[in-house]
Amino acid sequence: MTSTTTEKTSAGTTPAALSEVELSIGGMTCASCAARVEKKLNRMDGVTATVNFATEKAKVSYPAGVEVADLVATVVKTGYTAEEPPPPPPAPRAEDTGEEAPAADGELLSLRQRLLVSLTLSVPVVLLAMVPALQFDNWQWLSLTLAAPVVVWGALPFHRAAFTNARHGAATMDTLVSIGTLAAFGWSLWALFFGHAGMPGMRHSFEFTVSRTDGSSSIYLEAAAGVTAFILAGRYLEARSKRKAGAALRALLELGAKDVSVLRGGAEVRVPVAELAVGDRFVVRPGETVATDGTVVEGSSAVDASMLTGESVPVDVTVGDAVTGATVNAGGRLVVEATRVGADTQLARMARLVEDAQNGKAEVQRLADRISAVFVPVVILIALGTLLTWLLVTGDAAAAFTAAVAVLIIACPCALGLATPTALMVGTGRGAQLGILIKGPEVLESTRKVDTVVLDKTGTVTTGRMALQDVVAAEGVDERELLRLAGALEHASEHPIAQAIAVGAGERAGALPVPESFENVAGLGVQGVVEGHAVLVGREKLLQEWAIRLPRDLAAAKAAAEAEGRTAVAVAWDGEARGVLAVADAVKETSARAVAELRRLGLRPVLLTGDNQVVAESVARSVGIDEVIAEVLPQDKVDVVKRLQAQGRTVAMVGDGVNDAAALATADLGLAMGTGTDAAIEAGDLTLVRGDLLVAADAIRLSRRTLATIKGNLFWAFGYNVAALPLAAFGMLNPMIAGAAMAFSSVFVVTNSLRLRSFK
């Protein structure tokens, strides 16, 4: 997939076109491989590349004059493979629907077979070496017979990669493994054929530390075979865990329907989803998946969107309502007109956001990559130094060799390369399941620093729709009757306040009668006849024109409603005032809980709105916010964010409208409501698909927990190498134990990351 962006030159005046491409990289076996590919690509003029070891992908930005073929050639020259992407298709690719799984499963199966054979052959070799009681005459030759296939065939991927890297003047983790196992195997061959180790009756003791022995009598077949088996086990567990880590994204991509019933010439025709075009009308029966984003043109139903938004309650839809592809029709038959297809759908956009986040790197991982790039050559020097030092100090070739091999084996920096990508894959995948889209790893750093959260009012804290809040009936008037007559008249009006009253009246009083006559009085309200009553609904001035005054109790109710920022609507019939209805933008049910949760996370909430101060303060009180900034013009919201930043605050902004986009981009952390506009979603760092403010707190908690997992992974990976290298160099670790510990460190990092799948 390619795209084009623009970038300013150093002078800041000339826009230079930059294209982006994502390449699939093959042949990488560790973080050092990824660092080498990234380094080579970044050396090309104008090229910026990020290579991810866990996802085996490179995200590359390149200027005009550079072709994708040039990028591929550079990767190939480095000793790896790269695939040039196909042209963007009109509909989701096969791999976007999870159909690449068989290839990945085949690779996993091949690795599993290599592991099982190596384990089967290695176990007897290790037992014979570790348990002297099992040793019989010429046991060492049986060990050689069993160990040879493991070292030659089982470790072939390591040898092949080491050879390829050596041809390009590089060293990676595979270099360490290959040198270590071949050195142990080669020493053993020399001792068996040219030393004393091949004599009948030879016995071999086993210790976890280096011992002083005659080098010509020592064999290390158990180290060569055992290390190979342990590292293959680690590789297999890593590969399987990476498949699990990406499962959330694959599940997301597989949600879409595969075929659809399209209406053509009045008849239903079943076609593949790829053939859908904007404007096509298609049928969605109960239990079926909505094929693509669209608008309901016929029917009404409840739609289950839990797989996309995390919201468990189905949403009622009817003619004119928008529906999203991959949601499930839980009720009646719908006819939907397609508005977005293929790569433009919300599902495809969600998948791209998640994948982009997984392909990125946090600043902490960039440090780890830089260290990994120089780590392997340094380790080889340490191993040579260890060998020479032991020889000079002790003169014991066997002890020197054992310590040097242990250094090579235990130093593999694989865990460093997996620390960030696996946590990001699991964290972003889990976020997608909960309706939280994290745009990139740098967002995780921002969530840790934020101390102030600015909340847009309309559409974020409130629903953004007017609703009937309160009903005050005059003395002797039945509230249900008041709602029936007022609601019937307002139902005939298209004004948002009128519609709010009509909907609220229908919910509270049941079916509404049909007016016998209706008239809209511009700027004042409506009047008409309902069930023989002359009814007025609107401003107090409308009643005054008919010489009707509000009694004291209704006047007080009107004043109280307006003091809370609500719109007060007076109702009268047959020459008397009968009641007051209060209408306002309803506060979302979860907003108060969300504000409390944000406070528990150490954030200071601020309400920001263009509404008047009275309305803003009323909403703020209802949800527990103390700081209110009201009557702000849309273009001034950025200035408010900048002013808070100038006060030393690190600001998060939550919004949903076009007028929030600039403020979202200016804030240190932007959280965009997924129910809002595309502009706001593009500007935000985190997208809350469900549009529920409570999810904002969940998003920050998930981001912080993902960052903590990354840092924990890096700490243990660094700590492991720093602590283990001196132990190996001082002869306190057997090479086989070193191999097991190295494999365990990688498995620990991946397993620790997988704990994020349980985030709730």
Comparing 655 with 532, which gets the higher pLDDT? 532
More confident residue, 332 or 44: 44
Tell me what percent of the residues of the chain surpass a pLDDT of 70: 78
Which ranges constitute the DSSP H helices of 323-396?
A: 346-359, 363-394
Dist. CA 422–CA 53, nearest whole Å: 10
For residues 364 and 47, the model is more confident at 47
For the chain, the average pLDDT equals 79
> Which residues are marked as active site?
456
Instruction: Give the pLDDT confidence score for residue 403 in this predicted structure.
Output: 81
Higher pLDDT, 384 or 563: 384
DSSP 178-237: HHHHHHHHHHHHHHHHHSSTTSTT------SS-----GGG---HHHHHHHHHHHHHHHHH
For residues 328 and 314, the answer to whether their CB atoms sit within 8 Å is: no
The two structure tokens encoding residue 681: 């979603």
Q: Taking residues 549-577, what's their average pLDDT?
A: 89
Specify the residue for token string 């979202």.
664
* Token pair belonging to 748: 């620990």
Checking if the pLDDT of 296 tops 90, the result is yes
Q: What angle do CA 43, 47, 53 make, to 5 degrees?
A: 80
In the predicted model, what is the mean pLDDT of residues 22-30?
Answer: 83
Confidence of residue 210 (pLDDT cuts 50, 70, 90): very low
pLDDT of 15: 42
